[in-house]
Amino acid sequence: MAQKPIRRNENILELSREHHYSLLFCWKIRQGVKQQVALERVCRYVNYFWQQHLGEHFRKEEEILFSMVQDEPVQKAAADHQRIRRQIEALNDNCTDTLLLQLADEVNEHVRYEERILFPYMEQVLSLSQLEAVGQQLNALHDNVKDNYADEFWLDK
C-alpha cells in the first residue's frame, strides 16, 4: 500500500521540493555505478550537483530553518550535513564506487529523515509567525532548480 503524501506547511514547501532533486541525485549515482559508467563521470556530476544545488540547499536549511531551534532533531540534521560534506570531499580525493554508493545512501537517508521527522517536528515547534518568516526568507532566495547536467551518464546502457 502506497504511503499518503506528506502535507507540508507552505512556508517550507520549497525545501521539500528541493529534496525531490536530491533523491534523483541519489538515483543517478546508483544508476551510474550499476551501469559501470566511468567513475570520473559520476564524480563530476556529484561536484556539479553539490555546487549548483545541494550546497546551497544545506546553507538555506542551516541559516534559515535550523537557526530557529537548537535541539536534538536539528542537531542531527546539521551533523548529517557535515558528514555529507566530508563524503563529497573524500570523493574528490578518491572516487570509488563504494564511496559513491555510501554518499547516495547517506543523502537518501538524510532527506527521508528531514521529510518524515524533522520537518513535521519543526512545523509543530515553530509558531506560525516563525514559519512565515522562514517562508519569506526562502522566497527571497528562490530559484527554479534545474538539474540540467549535460552528461546524462545515468541513461547509458
Q: Show pLDDT as tens, one digit a residue, over the chain (157 residues).
A: 556 556 778 889 899 999 999 999 999 999 999 999 999 999 999 999 999 999 999 999 999 999 999 899 999 999 999 999 999 999 999 999 999 999 999 999 999 999 999 999 999 999 999 999 999 999 888 776 677 899 999 997 6
For 148, counting Cβ atoms within 10 Å of its Cβ (0-12 exposed, 13-18 middle, 19+ buried), the class is exposed
CA–CA separation, 53 and 45 (whole Å): 11
CA–CA separation, 26 and 28 (whole Å): 5
Predicted TM-score (pTM) of this structure: 0.91
The domain segmentation of the chain, as residue ranges, is 11-142
